[in-house]
Structure 1
Amino acid sequence: MIEPDEPTPRLADGCVLCYEGAKMVLFVTGRCGRNCWYCPLSDTRRNKDVVYANDRLVKSPDDLIEEAEMMSALGTGVTGGEPFLVLDNVVRYCRLLKEHFGSGHHIHLYTGIAPKRAQLEPLRGLVDEIRLHPPRDLWAGILKSPYATSVQTARDLGFSIGIEVPSLPGMEALAAILPDLDFLNINELEWSETNAEAMRERNLDLEDGLHNAVGGAAAWAAPLLGDEKVHFCSSTFKDSVQLRERLKRIAENTARPFDEVTDDGTIVYGVLEIEDGRVPQALKEDIYDLEVSDTHVEMAWWVLAELRDRLPGRKEIVERYPNGGIILEVTPL
């Protein structure tokens, strides 16, 4: 398995920030004119006109800014679906981010089309990096495809320009366009609920039982990895580094005084069940950081463990993603 251990000079600027967990993911639409068999989008997003900032449904511009501030985002990755189907919205969102966080807020944009000059010009000064996703059936003739023209147009307009594709057989053909690119990112092909049937039809299987990587995907990328412009992004890296670092940034900004932030960016705290908002006397005797509702008290897990024999009611230690994210584990005391 090929895995990056640390940022290298061949990483695109947007990827360096992703490595640090400092890039917010802005999903601008689930609509797309293509039907890639390997698309991992969930049914809640695919072909839906919805907007998400990370996993937060965006209903107003304030949601976008709040999510970026919550993780101390240094940049944003714009994705979909096909962002150019909602170009006016993309321009509006990117302008909002640049005006709020400054021109140094790095924005990259993924697209499955070969955008023309008229489509790219509205993004000048708002998007820093364009990432093209040409379909596999064009790879062998990439220099004669519309994507080669888009590469030159984007370069003329001052964008950093690259190609980002999943690892598939035959990708060595993309070597022909490498001299014209700033970078080529290869994402390890990943298994998901929505592409599982298509994977099975192609006799593909998981690399192991621990990750979503498809067996053989790393080897398909190998012929291109000697070039300094090429970066292979493994499934393991996305799960164990990129997501973890983003969670840690969110946790640092949103954790309550009694939450313990783990090395994985999750938070751990204690929960005591109570009735009618009555706080037990043992918790009143000393000054503790508490969060009280009608049904339970939340506190530092170690306080709950230390006082458990003096506290009536059900007691649990909870681990979850920060800022009210999903619960990962509940341990009874």
Structure 2
Amino acid sequence: MTAPRSESPKGIPANLTKGCVLCYQGAKMVLFVTGRCRRTCWYCPLSEERKGKDVIFANEHRIESPEQAVAIAERMSALGTGVTGGEPLLCLDRVAQYCKALKDHFGPEHHIHLYTAQAPAKADLEKLKGVVDEIRLHPPRECWDHILDTDFIASAKMAKEQGFDIGIEVPALPGLDLLIPALPYLDFLNINELEWGETNADDMRERGYTLADGVHNAVDGAQEWAAELEKHDKVHWCASSFKDSVQLRERLLRIAENTARPFDEVTDDGTIVYGVLELHPGTRDEVVARCRTFLEEGAFCDCGDRVETAWWLLEEYRDKIPGKKSVVERYPDGGMVVEVTPL
């Protein structure tokens, strides 16, 4: 029987799976293997960029090969990988190929968990054995009231027999307590706070849901739906605010630690801040030469159409170097731009 929930010295609940512990540490790369899925769950939060499209991402980077996935995992010193979609089992060979590449490179201790809204058959499990450590099943809401009669429980039993850690991971929806009978067949059950997204906003409004606050994407009332199920030791609640303020931040900090340039300022949130000087073809060489008179080698980067340097240096010399200047905050390793402020 799982020990009662408690907090570890680092503030990590003691009953978490290894996959969740590594997520707490920001040490898991997110491997999105496809946006294709046979289901049309109204609450699916996938963006338009990914939903329904057969694309692959490692963290925020579009990739096309296992080698690229390994390189991105290296850049964040990843201790594990979470495989997600879409529906990963629709491209099972791809999943096995990418996971094997990660295991071969980092060793068997590189922990890999996989999400699926299907119930893996015996043949599926055999293909995943040795390259995936933990399987997180996502039974759709319509089958919760007869969960013990579904293929998900049969699949969970087979997975345990084959040595996988097996659990259920679902969003917080009304009726979560219907999953209580499934707990004896599982190692864990994770509840993700229901989140408002660009592609599910209309469905949220149709059901009368609203945001809990103006800061996060959490839906008001979601934790109340989880209250009864959350009393059980195998159950873990994952808040939307935690994903934003802890999980994502820790992952970004790991990436920034490995990829930030000498002049990048790393924020407490793991983003990087730097200055940008836009260059025009007619004056490019002259402006770059002038930059060299003020900025030491290594204190700036000539990127062709722009110069990037420490934001405070650009501010200091703003009147001595012509051109449009701005301060950029973005995710590390060429990630998403958060904010651009003109100087």
Kindly provide the amino acid, as one letter, of the partner of residue 33 in structure 2.
Answer: V
What is the CA-CA distance between 1:133 and the residue it aligns to? 0.7
Kindly provide the amino acid, as one letter, of the partner of residue 277 in structure 1.
Answer: D
What is the CA-CA distance between 1:280 and the residue it aligns to? 5.4
Indicate conservation of the 8 Å contact 2:61/2:335, yes or no: no
In the alignment, what sits opposite 1:292? 302
Which consecutive unaligned segments of at least 5 residues does structure 2 have? 1-6
Q: In 2, distance between residues paired with 1:193 and 1:269?
A: 29
In the alignment, what sits opposite 1:143? 148
Which consecutive unaligned segments of at least 5 residues does structure 1 have? none
Calculate the TM-score normalised by the size of structure 1.
0.93
Aligned pairs for 1:166-315 within 5 A: 166-274=171-279, 275-278=283-286, 279=288, 281=290, 283-284=292-293, 287-288=296-297, 289-315=299-325
CA distance 1:294–1:108, shift in 2 (3 Å): closer
Q: In 2, distance between residues paired with 1:272 and 1:306?
A: 13
Q: In 2, distance between residues paired with 1:194 and 1:294?
A: 37
Kindly provide the amino acid, as one letter, of the partner of residue 268 in structure 1.
Answer: V
Q: CA RMSD in A?
A: 1.8
> SS in structure 1 opposite 2:244?
helix
CA distance 1:313–1:48, shift in 2 (3 Å): closer
Question: 2:97 pairs with 74, 92, 98, which one?
Answer: 92
Kindly provide the amino acid, as one letter, of the partner of residue 194 in structure 2.
Answer: L
What is the CA-CA distance between 1:137 and the residue it aligns to? 2.0
Question: 1:42 pairs with 41, 44, 47, which one?
Answer: 47
> SS in structure 2 opposite 1:28?
strand
Indicate conservation of the 8 Å contact 1:282/1:310, yes or no: no
Q: In 2, distance between residues paired with 1:286 and 1:50?
A: 41
Which 10-residue stretch deviates more, 140-149 or 105-114? 140-149
Kindly provide the amino acid, as one letter, of the partner of residue 219 in structure 1.
Answer: E
Indicate conservation of the 8 Å contact 1:277/1:293, yes or no: no
Task: Give the percent of matched residue pairs that are identical in Structure 1 and Structure 2.
Answer: 61
In the alignment, what sits opposite 2:335? 325
Q: In 2, distance between residues paired with 1:42 and 1:245?
A: 23
Kindly provide the amino acid, as one letter, of the partner of residue 306 in structure 1.
Answer: E
Q: In 1, distance between residues paired with 2:342 and 2:46?
A: 35
CA distance 1:128–1:295, shift in 2 (3 Å): closer
CA distance 1:307–1:160, shift in 2 (3 Å): same
In the alignment, what sits opposite 2:24? 19
> SS in structure 2 opposite 1:142?
helix
What is the CA-CA distance between 1:317 and the residue it aligns to? 2.0
Runs of 4+ in 1 over 4 A off after TM superposition: 280-283
> SS in structure 2 opposite 1:72?
coil
CA distance 1:109–1:276, shift in 2 (3 Å): same
Indicate conservation of the 8 Å contact 1:29/1:83, yes or no: yes
CA distance 1:282–1:247, shift in 2 (3 Å): closer
Indicate conservation of the 8 Å contact 1:24/1:73, yes or no: yes
Indicate conservation of the 8 Å contact 1:188/1:217, yes or no: yes
Q: In 2, distance between residues paired with 1:59 and 1:223?
A: 43
Indicate conservation of the 8 Å contact 1:109/1:127, yes or no: yes
> SS in structure 1 opposite 2:43?
coil
In the alignment, what sits opposite 2:132? 127
Calculate the TM-score normalised by the size of structure 2.
0.91
> What is the number of residues matched between the two proteins?
330
CA distance 1:29–1:296, shift in 2 (3 Å): closer
> SS in structure 1 opposite 2:30?
strand
- What do the CA deviations read for 1:209-244 (whole angstroms, capped 9, x no partner)? 221111111110111222221111111111121111
Q: Does residue 1:103 correspond to 2:108, yes or no?
A: yes
Kindly provide the amino acid, as one letter, of the partner of residue 166 in structure 2.
Answer: I
Which 10-residue stretch deviates more, 290-299 or 128-137? 290-299
